[in-house]
Chains A and B, each alone.
Chain A
Amino acid sequence: MIFNKTFECMDRAALRNLQGERLRDAVKRAYEHVPFYRSRLDAHGVKPSDIHGIEDIVKLPFTTKEDFRDTYPFGLFAVPLREIVRVHASSGTTGKPTVVGYTKEDIDTWAETIARTLGCGGGTADDILQVAYGYGLFTGGLGLHYGGEKLGAMVIPMSGGNTKKQIMLMQDFGTTLLACTPSYSLQIAEEAAADDIDLKALKLRVGYFGAEPWTEAMRAKIEERLPVKAIDIYGLSEVMGPGVASECLEQDGLHVFEDHYFPEIINPTTGEPVAAGQKGELVYTCLTKRSTPLLRYRTRDISSLDEKPCPCGRTSRRMARITGRTDDMLIIRGVNVFPSQIETVLMKVEGIEPHYVIVVDKTGALDELEIKVEVSEQLFSDEIRKLEELRARIFEEMRSVLSLSAKITLVEPKTIERTLGKAKRVIDKREVK
C-alpha cells in the first residue's frame, strides 16, 4: 500500500524542485535561528543566499554527533522551547546523551513517514501492529507507535522484552504486523520453538526490522522461522528516528522519504561526494524539520544510493542496507554503544584496574555484551562476597549508562594484555557484519 502517493511517487524533477525549495528554507531557518549554524556557515563562507537548488547542498558544512554534544542540550533548536512538544535522546559518545526535539509539525511528519514505512511493507488500517521496540527516550517505540496510529492500525504497545508474553499476545490478539530489531525476531522464534508453539499458525504477516544492521542471510532465516515478509527499515534519532527510509515488498533497497530527508553519500576521509552508486558514508539533511533543520549530518553508516526506478511505483532513491560504520560505535540489541562510554564508567569504579576488554558475541539470536575487567591486587582476595558486590555494582552502573545488561567478568590482576590499542579492546565475534 502506498500511504502517500503524492510524495512517494512524485516525478523526480518535481521532487528535486521541492527539495531545493525546502533546502533553501531549512538553511535560512538554521542561519537565522541557530547561533551554532550561523557561526558554522559564516566560518565556512556560505550564506543562505548561496543556496539556490538542491545541488548547492555540497556547499554546506557537515554536522556531526560531536556538534550535538557541544550544543547540549538545546543548542541546535531553531524554535523556542514552548514550541517543542517532545524530546527524545540517544546515547552520546560519553556522559551526555544526544538530544533531539520535535515541534507538533515534526511529530506529524515523523508519524507520516512511519505510516509510509508501514505501508511500504503492506500494512493497512485493518492491521494489528505489535510494537516490541522499547518505549521511552529511545525513538524506536514511540516512533512506530505514532506511525501505526496515523495509519489507523490497532496498536499494541508491548515495548521490548518479555518474549513469552510477546508470543502470547501475538497468539491471543491476532497480531499481523511486528516491529522490533531483527535479532529479537529470531529470539521470539527460538522461544516459540522451545515451547512448541507453531509460529506459522499465527496471523503475523509483516515484520518491520531496524535499529541494527542485518544481512540477507539473516532475512532468509527470519522468513523461514516466522510467517513474515521481513522488511528492513532505517532511521536515526538525530535525523528524526525510524522512518527515514524503508524497503518496499520488492526487498531491494530502502526507499528514502526524500521529500523530508535528503541523502548523500560521501567519502568519509575526504568528505567529497562519491560517484553515483558507489559505497560511502551516508549523510542526511532534514529538509522540513522545524525544531532542528539538521544540515548534512554524518551518520557514520556505510551505504550507497540506487537511482533506478523501483517496480513498486515509488520514485525515491533507494539506499543499500547498512554494511558497516566509519567509527567504533557498536550496535548491541538495537542499542548504540560507544566503547568510550564503557571506559568512562570503569574509570569511576574503585577497586579495578584500567585494563579491560569488551567482547560482543551472540548466544542464539541475541547479542551478548561481556566486559572483562581486571581487579586490583588488594581486592583480589578470597572474599567472594566482595568480588560479587563489585561485579553487581559495575553491572548496575553499566545498565544505567548503556541501558543494557552486560556480563561483567572480573579477572585476576595482570591477565589482560597491556599493549592493546583502543580498537583491540573490542572483540566483536558476531558473524553478521
Chain B
Amino acid sequence: MIPSAIWDPEFECMHVDALRELQLERLRKVVRRAWGHVPYYRQKMQVVGVTPSDIKTLEDIRKLPFTTKDDLRLCYPYEAFAVPLEKVVRIHASSGTTGKSTVVGYTRKDMEVWTNVVARFLVAGGLTSKDIVHIAFSYGLFTGGFGLHYGAERVGASVIPVSAGRSERQIQIMRDFGSTALVCTPSYAVYLGELVQGMGLKPGDLKLRVGFFGAEAWSNRVREEIQAKLGLFATDNYGLSEIIGPGVAGECVHQNGMHISEDHFYPERIDPDTCEPVGPDRRGELVLTTLTKEAIPLIRYRTRDICMLMPGTCPCGRTGARMSKITGRSDDMLIIRGANIYPSQVEEVLLDVKGTLPHYQLVVSREGALDRLEVRVEVSEEFFADEMKKLNELDRQIEHKLENVLGIRASVKLVEPRTIERSEGKAKRVLDLRPKE
C-alpha cells in the first residue's frame, strides 16, 4: 500500500443515510428531467404506466423501464439529449453493435462532474499534483484518453498526452521525461513491462510510481505482473462512455474493489435473464442510473457487465459501494485491446465488401501480453480472383475497413471454404483463445 489522499471527502465519505437521501432527491430530479425533456423516455415510461411522481423511495427505481444500447441507437444522434444543443460542449462516441456509434454528449457541468470523478479515483490510487502522468490511451471519440487527461489536469499533475501506439517511443518518453504515473489498458501495461525488460532497462531507469489501468477486464495475477515489471502500484478503474466515460468507479490503495461514485451513479445488479435484483454476494449484471447528468440522463442503463459487490466497509473511509472486477458479459461483445467489438460490426464490413456475406470467424488470441484479432474469411467464388494482387487487395481492403469500424487493427486471413467450424450449420462466429483467468 502507498500513501494516498481523498479528493472529495464530503461526497466520497458521506454517511450512508445522507447518501441515500441525496440519491433519492437526485433520482427524482433526473426522472422528472427525462420525462420532461426526452420524449423517448416519456413514451417508455408511459408504456409501463409509471410517472415521475411514482418514485417515492430508492426502491421505486425498479418500477422504471431499463435503457439499453439499442435504445441509444434508436435515439441517434441527438434524440436522447435532455438539453438544447448549444448547452452541449463535447461529444464522444463509442462503438455501436452495428454501423452507427453510440453518441454521448456533455454540458459544461457534465464535464465538471466527469473531471471530478476521475480526479477522485486518481487521488484514491495515490496520484498527487507533483506527478507526471503519461497517458497512453488513445484520444479522440473514445472517452478513455480525455477522461484521464482532464482528471489528471484537475489534480494539478503534469500531463503528457502521448496517446496510443509506438511502444518503444512510449518507453523513451517515460524514461526521458521521468513519467511517474502511467495510464493505459492493463494488457498494454504488461506489454510495456516486457518491452522494458527486453530493452535491458534497470529498475530506477524509470520513475514510474503509480498506474491506473482500465477499459478491459484484468485479474490480480496480471496486477502482480504489472507491478513487478514496471515497479509501480497498480489500481483498476471502471467506466463506460454511455454513462460518462472512465470515473464511474475506481480502486483505492487497498486494491480491494472499485468504489462507485454513488452520488452520481446509482448502481443496481440484476439477473440478466429474469431482470430481477440479485444479492450483493452473487454475480449479476450491473445496471447504472446517472443521477446528475444533464446532457443525456440515463435511467437503469444495462451495462452488460457482470460483477459482484464487495462485502463490508473499506478501511480507507470511503462509503461508496465497491464493485468487483468485471468477470464477464451478458452479450456477445468482446473487449480487445481496450476496444469494444461486436461480431455484428465485422459482419457489416464483410457484407459491404462484395454485397454477400461469406462465412467468417473472429479468432481472438494472445501474443505475449497483447490481444490479437484475426478475422478468417472463407473464400467463396464471389470473393475469389485468379490474380494475386486482387486477392491481396481484397485482404487489405477488408483490413482497412475493419480498422476504420473497429478502431483496432485486425488481420484478415483468407481460408478455404468449409474450414471454419460449424455448429448447426452456422459457422461459429467467435473463437476466443485467450487464457481464462
Interface residues of A (CB under 8 A from B): 72-74, 81-82, 84-89, 96-97, 99, 101, 125-126, 128, 134-137, 141-142, 149, 152-159, 161-162, 164-165, 168-169, 172-174, 399-401, 403
Contacts and interface: CB of A to CB of B under 8 A. Distances in A.
B89 A152 contact: yes
A157 B141 contact: yes
A173 B103 CA distance: 10
A186 B57 CA distance: 57
A20 B74 CA distance: 59
Contact of A149 (B89, B145, B158): B89
A85 B153 contact: yes
B177 A87 contact: yes
Interface in B332-372: none
B77 interface: yes
A152 B178 CA distance: 34
A154 B163 contact: no
B165 to A, nearest CB: 8
B392 to A, nearest CB: 11
Contacts of A155: 89-91
Contacts of B78: 173
A379 B139 CA distance: 40
List of 9 A-B pairs having minimum Cβ-Cβ separation, nearest first: A136-B163, A135-B139, A159-B140, A87-B160, A172-B77, A156-B91, A84-B158, A400-B166, A73-B176
B140 to A, nearest CB: 3
B91 A73 contact: no
Interface in B78-105: 78, 85-86, 88-93, 100, 103, 105
B158 A81 contact: yes
A99 B77 contact: no
Given A73-B176, A81-B158, A154 B90 contact: yes
B377 to A, nearest CB: 20
Given A73-B176, A159-B138, A173-B91, 12 more contacts: A73-B177, A101-B158, A125-B86, A135-B138, A135-B163, A136-B162, A142-B161, A158-B141, A159-B139, A162-B404, A172-B76, A173-B77
9 contacts: A85-B156, A87-B158, A135-B163, A136-B163, A152-B89, A154-B85, A154-B86, A168-B100, A173-B77
Contacts of B176: 72-73, 96
B381 to A, nearest CB: 26
Interface of B: 76-78, 85-86, 88-93, 100, 103, 105, 129-130, 132, 138-141, 145-146, 153, 156-163, 166, 168-169, 173, 176-178, 404
Contact of A154 (B89, B140, B159): B89
Nearest to B403: A162
Nearest to B76: A172
Contacts of B92: 157
A153 B91 CA distance: 11
B160 A159 contact: no
Contacts of B162: 136-137
Contacts of B132: 81, 87
Contacts of B156: 85
A87 B153 CA distance: 12
Given A73-B177, A142-B161, A400-B166, A157 B140 contact: yes
A82, A141, A152: residue with the most chain B Cβ atoms closer than 10 Å: A82
Contacts of A86: 153, 158-161
A74 B146 CA distance: 25
A400 B91 contact: no
A255 B92 CA distance: 32
Contacts of B159: 85-87
B91 A164 contact: no
A82 B166 contact: no
Contacts of A125: 86
A101 B159 CA distance: 10
A137 B153 contact: no
Given A85-B159, A136-B139, A172-B76, A154 B404 contact: no
Nearest to B139: A135
Nearest to B107: A154
Contacts of A153: 89
Given A82-B130, A155-B90, A400-B166, A165 B160 contact: no
Nearest to B153: A85
A164 B129 CA distance: 40
A99 B88 CA distance: 34
Contacts of A134: 163
Contacts of A156: 90-91, 141
Contacts of B168: 400
A81 B158 CA distance: 8
A141 B139 contact: yes
A39 to B, nearest CB: 22
A137 B159 CA distance: 10
A165 B158 contact: no
Contacts of A157: 90-92, 139-141, 146
Nearest to B152: A85
A74 B160 CA distance: 13
A249 to B, nearest CB: 22
A164 B78 CA distance: 20
A153 B132 CA distance: 30
Nearest to A107: B153
Nearest to A103: B158
Contacts of A84: 158
B2 to A, nearest CB: 19
B277 to A, nearest CB: 37
B78, B140, B158, B173: residue with the most chain A Cβ atoms closer than 10 Å: B140
A162 B141 CA distance: 12
Contacts of B93: 169
B265 to A, nearest CB: 23
A157 B143 CA distance: 10
A134 B140 CA distance: 8
B69 to A, nearest CB: 17
Nearest to B146: A157
A400 B163 contact: no
B170 to A, nearest CB: 10
